[in-house]
Amino acid sequence: MSNFYKRFIQTYCTEMGAERSSLRVLFGNRSSRVTKMISFYEKIVDSITRKLSKNKVSISLVYKNNYFIDNLEQFEVTYNSLCDENSKTRFIQYIVFKAINSTGLKFPTGHMDASIDIKSVSKLTITDDFIKGYTNIGNLNLYDLSPIGYDVKLINESVGTLIDFVYEQYAYRELFGVKKDDVVIDCGGAIGDTAIYFAAKGASSVYVFEFIRSNIALINKQIELNPSMETKIKVIEKAVWNESKVELSYLDKGNSSSVADAGVYPDSTTTLSIDDMVLENKLEHVDMIKMDIEGAESPALMGAQDTIRKFKPKLAICVYHKNSDLVKIPNYIKSLNPDYDFYFEYYTDVGWEAVLYAVNREET
154 membership: H or E segment, kind and range: strand 153-156
Distance CA 39, CA 37 (A): 5
Rg of the Cα atoms in the chain: 22
Question: For the chain, what is the mean pLDDT?
Answer: 86
pLDDT > 70 in the chain, percent: 82
Would you kindly state where each structural domain of the chain is located, as residue ranges?
3-110, 169-318
Q: So what CATH class is 169-318?
A: alpha beta
Distance CA 343, CA 361 (A): 12
pLDDT in the model for residue 60: 46
pLDDT in tens, 39-91: 555 555 555 455 445 444 444 444 356 788 778 889 999 999 999 999 999 99
Distance CA 3, CA 82 (A): 13
Q: State the pTM of this model.
A: 0.88
pLDDT in the model for residue 22: 38
Classify each residue of 272-286 as buried b or exposed e, where b means 16 or more C-beta atoms within 10 Å of its C-beta.
bbbbbbbeeeebeeb
- Residues paired with residue 186 on neighbouring β-strands, in sequence order: 208, 290
269: CB partners within 8 A, 6+ apart: 211, 237, 238, 239, 248, 249, 250
pLDDT at 305 over 60: yes
